[in-house]
Amino acid sequence: MKPSRWLAAGLVAVATAAALNVVPATAGRPYDPTTQSLRDLAKRHGLYVGTAVDMAALDNAAEPRYRELAGSEFSTVTAENVMKWESLEPTRGTYNWGPADELVAFARQHQQRVRGHVLVWHNQLPTWLTEGVADGSIDTAELRKILRDHITAVVRHFKGQIWQWDVVNEAVSDPWDTPSTLHYKGFWAQHLGPGYVADAFRWARAADPKALLFYNDYNIEAFGSGNPADDKTQFVYEMARDLRARGVPIDGVGSQGHLGTQYGNYDTLQVVAALRKFAGLGLATAFTEVDVRSQMTAGVQAGDSAEINPRLQASAANFSTLLRACLAERHCLSFTLWGFTDKHSWVPGAFSDPPEGLATVYDENYRPKRSYQELKADLIYSGPPFVLPRVPQQPRR
Ligand code: 9MR
């Protein structure tokens, strides 16, 4: 070949490798996908892999591994707490943007996208708000205005920097609530009625027309009976369908993915079917808070491998089920873990009777667990014809 042909062939090879995000094997550096990060492996599918970030851990100089892995393994981040109302506006009218801005800056430095979490939720509200409503000093009309102002201020502040916003979070009850017939639950439904959901999406869209707007909830990984009175996924599906039909600017549904090895959970095909059904409404989907917890029996706590191993395996299988389903459905845009190390996980603090833990993909010493390896294997060994790159979602006008 003439030198110019060699050059052309070389350029094509480099461009192809870059496009596919693979490094060609050479004698000196054989390509080994298992050494790649989750984010790099996910890139081939156009998928973003994320984590919730605990700002105290990120800022702890004594624990550099947290920051390193948060920056290197993930292509999207979510604020675990610092974009919640009680953090952003602890005193009425006084916003504390610092920690949330710091996360957004960290994301920019590491070429990561940001999932905004969360605009409207019944938990982690500031006391000035809940007490004002309880003592009658804030009436319904004022509450609605406060919500609109909050959404507008927060979305405007981060305008252009948020890929997906969790606009409304966990608005729907669970079968174990009273009454057991599924309904709109919590502070906002109680005080404003269910119409707040559509309002929240409209206000968010007005404040940042380019951000993708999501409804986010747990226990919606698969459909059940199909009856919205007791099937939460069906209830959320019908809610999203109605919002779409009315022209409300909802772009996606986030399935949190908080699973536990003590439950039956789902198989991959059930989860794919659910994602497809949401996609059929013209919606994007995402897994937004994935973790798989286990009961910490006395044996587990004593280090008994006969009790620990099955938990690690079941956990890995459940992570894998959700990731494979997401890979299979082209409108599933991102797969976010709710923390990545057992050292910083909400699970032990939230479940103490019986105690639960082991919910993430790295152990307390930042050693990757079997679940991490399975996620990696899923990203490496899946591809065409059944796994194709994502279909980007455009914000609905
Ligand atoms: O992980 C969060 C934990 O640090 C907080 O104490 C808790 C307070 O309610 O919220 C946790 O995050 C939740 C998320 O915002 C919404 N879905 C459920 C998550 C786990 O509780």
Kindly report the backbone phi and psi dihedral angles of residue 289, in degrees, each rounded to the nearest multiple of 5, phi listed first. Answer: -150, 50
Pocket test for ligand 1, best of 53, 54, 58, 80 (most atoms within 8 A of CB): 80
Torsion angle of the four alpha carbons 132, 133, 134, 135, in this order, in degrees rounded to the nearest 10: 50
Please say if the pLDDT value at position 147 is more than 80.
yes
What letter does residue 251 receive in the DSSP assignment? -
Report pLDDT digits (tens) over 173-188: 999 999 999 999 999 9
Minimal-distance CA residue to ligand 1 atom 13? 80
Q: CB within 8 A of 78, min separation 6: which ones?
A: 50, 51, 52, 53, 114, 115, 116, 117, 288, 289, 336
| Residue 293: both structure tokens together | 């917890």
Instruction: Give, in order, the Cα–Cα distances in Å from 129 to each of 61, 168, 283.
Output: 35, 18, 33
Distance 386 CA to ligand 1 centre (A): 34
- Domain 37-381, second-level architecture: Alpha-Beta Barrel (3.20)
Closest CA to 360 of 319, 395, 317, 326: 319
Find out whether the beta carbon of 291 lies less than 6 Å from any atom of ligand 1: no
Find out whether the beta carbon of 85 lies less than 6 Å from any atom of ligand 1: no
Minimal-distance CA residue to ligand 1 atom 14? 80
Find out whether the beta carbon of 256 lies less than 6 Å from any atom of ligand 1: yes
Find out whether the beta carbon of 81 lies less than 6 Å from any atom of ligand 1: yes
At 114 the three-state DSSP class reads strand
Closest CA to 116 of 170, 157, 69, 167: 167
Minimal-distance CA residue to ligand 1 atom 19? 289
Report pLDDT digits (tens) over 17-71: 445 555 556 667 778 999 999 999 999 999 999 999 999 999 999 999 999 999 9
Residue 39 to residue 150: CA distance in whole angstroms? 33
What letter does residue 33 receive in the DSSP assignment? G
pLDDT averaged over the chain? Answer: 95
Residue 213 to residue 3: CA distance in whole angstroms? 52
CATH code 3.20.20.80 region(s) in the chain: 37-381
Distance 294 CA to ligand 1 centre (A): 17
Give catalytic status of residue 289 as yes or no: yes
Instruction: Give, in order, the Cα–Cα distances in Å from 344 to each of 85, 288, 348, 375, 385.
Output: 22, 17, 9, 20, 38
Please say if the pLDDT value at position 397 is more than 80.
no
| Residue 9: both structure tokens together | 């062939």
Per the confidence metrics, is the pTM higher than 0.85?
yes
Out of 73, 89, 221, 289, which one is annotated catalytic? 289
Q: Are 276 and 223 in contact (CB under 8 A)?
A: no
Report pLDDT digits (tens) over 271-283: 999 999 999 999 9
Please say if the pLDDT value at position 10 is more than 60.
no
Query: Residue 117 CA: which ligand 1 atom is closest?
Result: 15
Minimal-distance CA residue to ligand 1 atom 3? 346
Minimal-distance CA residue to ligand 1 atom 21? 346
Residue 253 to residue 247: CA distance in whole angstroms? 16
What letter does residue 281 receive in the DSSP assignment? T
